[in-house]
Amino acid sequence: MAPKVLEVNDLVTRFYTPEGVVHAVNGVSFHLDEGETLGIVGESGCGKSVTMLSILRLIPEPPGKIERGEAVFMGRDLLKLSREELRFVRGAQIAMIFQDPMTSLNPVITIGKQVAEQVLEHLGMTEAQARERTIELLSTVGIPNAADRLGDFPHQFSGGMRQRVMIAMALSCSPQILIADEPTTALDVTIQAQIIDLIKELRDRLGMAIIWITHDLGIIAGLAERVVVMYAGFIVEHAAVKELYANPRHPYTIGLLGSLPRVDGRHARRLANIVGRPPDLLQEARFCPFAPRCASVIEHCWEENPLLRLVGTDHQIACWVDVEKAVKEVAR
Looking at beta carbons only, is 90 or 215 nearer to another protein? 215
- Helix, strand, coil percentages, rounded to 5, for the chain: 40, 25, 40
Provide the 3-class DSSP secondary structure of residue 77: strand
| CA–CA gap between residue 113 and residue 320 (Å, rounded) | 54
How far CA 238 is from CA of 23, 229, 247, 249, in Å, comes to: 21, 6, 12, 10
| CA–CA gap between residue 229 and residue 237 (Å, rounded) | 5
| CA–CA gap between residue 293 and residue 243 (Å, rounded) | 24
- Work out the burial of residue 228: count CB atoms within 10 Å of its CB; fewer than 13 is exposed, 13-18 middle, 19 or more buried: buried
Which stretch, 18-26, 65-73, 105-113, 184-192, contacts another protein (CB under 8 A)?
184-192
Residue 283 as a binder of another protein (CB under 8 A): the answer is no
Q: Pick the binder of another protein from 103, 106, 158, 283 (CB under 8 A).
A: 158
Size of the site for another protein (CB under 8 A): 47
Rounded to 5 degrees, φ, ψ at 275 are: -70, 160
Smallest gap from residue 11 Cβ to another protein (A): 23
Looking at beta carbons only, is 121 or 225 nearer to another protein? 225
Looking at beta carbons only, is 266 or 328 nearer to another protein? 266
Q: Pick the binder of another protein from 205, 270, 328, 332 (CB under 8 A).
A: 270
Binding mask 44-73 for another protein (x = CB under 8 A): x-----------------------------
End-to-end CA distance of the chain: 36
Angle at 258 between CA 255 and CA 261, to 5 degrees: 140
Q: Which of residues 84-103 bind another protein (CB under 8 A)?
A: none
Which stretch, 51-59, 109-117, 166-174, 272-280, contacts another protein (CB under 8 A)?
272-280
Residue 259 as a binder of another protein (CB under 8 A): the answer is yes
Residue 21 as a binder of another protein (CB under 8 A): the answer is no
How far CA 138 is from CA of 108, 121, 175, 321, in Å, comes to: 19, 18, 16, 51
Residue 161 as a binder of another protein (CB under 8 A): the answer is yes
Residue 13 as a binder of another protein (CB under 8 A): the answer is no
Residue 193 as a binder of another protein (CB under 8 A): the answer is yes
Measured over the CA atoms of residue 91, residue 30, residue 277 and residue 282, the dihedral's sign is negative
Q: Which of residues 227-256 bind another protein (CB under 8 A)?
A: 241-242, 245-246, 255-256
Residue 313 as a binder of another protein (CB under 8 A): the answer is no
Rounded to 5 degrees, φ, ψ at 32 are: -130, 125
Q: Pick the binder of another protein from 150, 191, 285, 323 (CB under 8 A).
A: 191
Binding residues for another protein, rule: CB under 8 A, are 43-44, 158, 160-161, 188-194, 196-197, 215-222, 241-242, 245-246, 255-267, 270-275, 277-278
